[in-house]
Amino acid sequence: MAAPAHPAAVLELQGLRVRYPGSTSNTLDGLNLRLHAGERLALVGPSGCGKSTVARAVLQLLPQGSRCQGSLRLNGRDPRGLRRSELRRLRGEAVGLVFQDPMTRLNPLMTIGEHLADTLSEHRPAWQQAQIRERAQSLLQRVGISDERYGSYPHEFSGGMRQRLAIALAMALRPALVIADEPTTSLDVAVAGQVMQELCDLCQEAGSALLLISHDLAMAGRWCDHIAVLDQGRLVEQAAATTLLTRPQSPLAQRLVGAARAREGGLTPAPSNAAPLLELEELRCWHPLPGLPWQARWYRAVDGVSLQLRHGETIGVVGASGCGKSTLCRALMGLTPVRGGSVKLKGVDLMRLRGEALRQARRRIQMVFQDPLACLNPAMTVGEAIADPLLIHGLASPSAAREQARQWLEAVGLQPPEAFEARLPRQLSGGQQQRVAIARALVLEPQVLLCDESVSMLDAEVQAEVLQLLRSLQDRLGLGLIFVTHDLSVASGFCQRVVVLDGGQIVEEGPGDQLLSQPQAAITRTLVEACPRLPAAAGA
C-alpha cells in the first residue's frame, strides 16, 4: 500500500529573490522555506537579514518597483498573479498579520467593535449584523477583552490590549497562515507571555500555521517548534527549537545564541562604596483623575520610591506595564510633575533649584529612549543631532560642537565618523540609531544616564553590542545607570542590583540572579514565570 502523500504546504518559497527599488543587491537571495498546517516556525536573524521582507513578499506589500522572483505559493496560490480584489480576499482569508505596533493597523476613528465588524462584513457579505456582532464579541472574549469595551476606541486601550485586538483581527477569518512580526517587542514580559499564549491557542484551535518573526531567541524557543536562521536573505540553518538553541551549527546561529546567553548571564564590576551619586527619597508622582472637584482622586504612578545610585553602578528597574517605570524616568528628567519627595544629585536637592541653577543640574541627568527615532529629528543629520545639545546650552561654538560630535561618533563605535555624520537617522540601522542616541545623551557629559527600554527593539547580537558599549562607557566615565527594562533576564545579567516596581512602589530589591532564583513578591514571581529563558547548552 502506498504511503500517504505529505499534506500540501500552507506556505512554500523556493528560490525566492526580492530586490527593492534603487538597491543593487537582493534583500532575499534564493530563500527556500516551507510551512505546513499547524506548524509554528520562528524566523530569526540579525537586523537587515530579510525577516520582515518575507512577510511583505508573502502578502505582496512590497514597494512599487520591487522585483520578486522565484516560486511563492500561499495556500496553493501565487499571490503575484491575482487581481487586486482577489489579493485583498486572500490576505484576509488565507493569511492573518499581527504587526509589531498594532496602531499601524488600527483606525483611531473606529471603535474596537467596528474594526472587527468591518473585517467580517467585507469577507462574509451573507452574514447578518447580529451574526457579525456575535462573532466579533466572541473574538474579543477569546483574547481577554470584555464586551463592555466593544464601543471603545484604540487610544483607550493599553499596548497589550491593542495587541490582543490585533490578534482577534488576524484570526477573525480563521486563516491558514498567521504571520506575527515582532508582536511583543513593546510589551512587558508578563503581558507578552499572555499575548503569545492567546495567539498560539487560537492558531491551534483553527489549525493555522504560525510564522513568528522575532529577534528574541528565548521567546522563539518557548513558542515555536522550529527555528529558521536568516542571513543576508538566505536560510543558513533550520532545526527543532531546542536543538538549535543548544547545539547551533552555523557560525551565525552560534553567534546569536552566544549573544543571548551573554545577555542573560553577564557580569558587571562591583560599584564604588563612595557617597551616593543620586538619592531619591519618598518620590511621588500623582496625576489627578477626572471627577467632582470636591472628591479629588489621584492616580499614584510613582508612590514613595526611595533609591540610592552610586558612581559606576547600574540599577535595573523592572515591573509590569503601568507600574511606574517610565514615569520614574520622566520625573528624574523633569518631564513630568513631582508631587512630593526629593531628588538629590551629589547631595543637592533638585526640587529646590530654580532657573539657571536647575538647568545646569539637569544637564547631569540624560536619557536614552526605547525608540531612537523618537528623539532624533528626521530632518537633521547625525552630526547635527549630536552637536545640537551643545548649541542649545551654549557650551560650544558651531565648529567646536561639530568636532565634539565626531569624537562621540567614534566613542560609540561609528567609525570613521566622516562616514556617518552627514547621514539622516533613517539611513542607519536600528543598532546604529541607538548608538547615535547614546552619543547625543552623553555629549553633555552627564553623571547619570537613564536607559528606558533602550535595547528592547534590537536583535540579540546588536543588544549585546549596545550593552557592552554602555558598560565600557560607564567604566570610562564613571556613569551611574538606571536601566529600565521589561526583561528580567537582561536586567539580571547587566545590573548589579534590580528593583521591582508594582503600583508605583518598590516591592522587592536585590541582585538579579537572586530575584530570578528566589523571587519573593507576587509580581516578581509572575515576571520570572513569564520570562522566556534559553535551554541549557549541550554539555552544560
Mean pLDDT, residues 349-353 taken together: 90
Q: How many CB atoms lie within 10 A of CB 109?
A: 8
pLDDT at 409 over 90: yes
Percent of the chain residues topping a pLDDT of 70: 95
Cβ contact 280:343 at 8 Å: yes
Q: Which triple of cell numbers denotes residue 192? A: 507578552
Question: How confident is the model at residue 273, as a pLDDT?
Answer: 60
Question: How confident is the model at residue 316, as a pLDDT?
Answer: 95
Question: How confident is the model at residue 306, as a pLDDT?
Answer: 96
In sequence order, the 6+-apart residues with CB closer than 8 A to the CB of 435 are 412, 413, 414, 466, 469
pLDDT at 162 over 80: yes
Percent of the chain residues topping a pLDDT of 90: 47
HEC profile of 465-479: HHHHHHHHHHHHHCC
pLDDT at 540 over 60: no
Confidence of residue 234 (pLDDT cuts 50, 70, 90): very high
- Which of 90, 73, 58, 70 shows the shortest CA–CA distance to 9? 73
End-to-end distance of the chain based on CA atoms, in angstroms? Answer: 46
Mean pLDDT, residues 249-276 taken together: 73
Mean pLDDT, residues 107-127 taken together: 90
Mean pLDDT, residues 92-105 taken together: 81
Question: How confident is the model at residue 477, as a pLDDT?
Answer: 85
Interatomic CA distance for residues 336 and 452, integer angstroms:
15
> What predicted TM-score, i.e. pTM, was given to this entire model?
0.73
- Which of 25, 34, 219, 10 shows the shortest CA–CA distance to 95? 10
Strand 95-98 and strand 314-318: the pairing is unpaired
pLDDT at 198 over 80: yes
Helix, strand counts (H, E) of the chain: 18, 19
Report CA-CA distances (Å) from 103 to 46, 138, 177.
25, 22, 22
- Which of 138, 140, 120, 141 shows the shortest CA–CA distance to 129? 120
Question: How confident is the model at residue 122, as a pLDDT?
Answer: 87
Question: How confident is the model at residue 436, as a pLDDT?
Answer: 93
Mean pLDDT, residues 178-202 taken together: 85
- Which of 488, 449, 69, 422 shows the shortest CA–CA distance to 278? 449
Quick one: how far is CA 440 from the chain centroid?
21
Q: Which triple of cell numbers denotes residue 35? A: 510551512
Cβ contact 344:279 at 8 Å: yes
Residue-wise pLDDT for 428-469, tens only, equals: 877 888 889 999 999 999 999 999 888 877 777 778 888 888
CA dihedral angle for residue 149, residue 151, residue 157, residue 159, rounded to 10 degrees? 90
- Which of 181, 38, 2, 39 shows the shortest CA–CA distance to 100? 181
HEC profile of 232-258: CCEEEEEEEHHHHHHCCCCHHHHHHHH
pLDDT at 482 over 90: yes
Mean pLDDT, residues 361-384 taken together: 89
Question: How confident is the model at residue 365, as a pLDDT?
Answer: 95
Cβ contact 468:461 at 8 Å: no
Interatomic CA distance for residues 382 and 418, integer angstroms:
10
- Mean pLDDT (the chain) is 87
- Give SS3 for 20: coil
**How many Cα atoms within 13 Å fall on the side-chain side of residue 17?**
11
Sign (positive or negative) of CA dihedral 467, 471, 477, 481: positive
Interatomic CA distance for residues 268 and 480, integer angstroms:
13
Quick one: how far is CA 47 from the chain centroid?
13
Residue-wise pLDDT for 295-305, tens only, equals: 777 888 899 99
- Candidate ranges 4-13, 106-115, 179-188; pick with highest mean pLDDT: 106-115
HEC profile of 475-528: HHHCCEEEEECCCHHHHHHHCCEEEEEECCEEEEEECHHHHHHCCCCHHHHHHH
Question: How confident is the model at residue 237, as a pLDDT?
Answer: 95
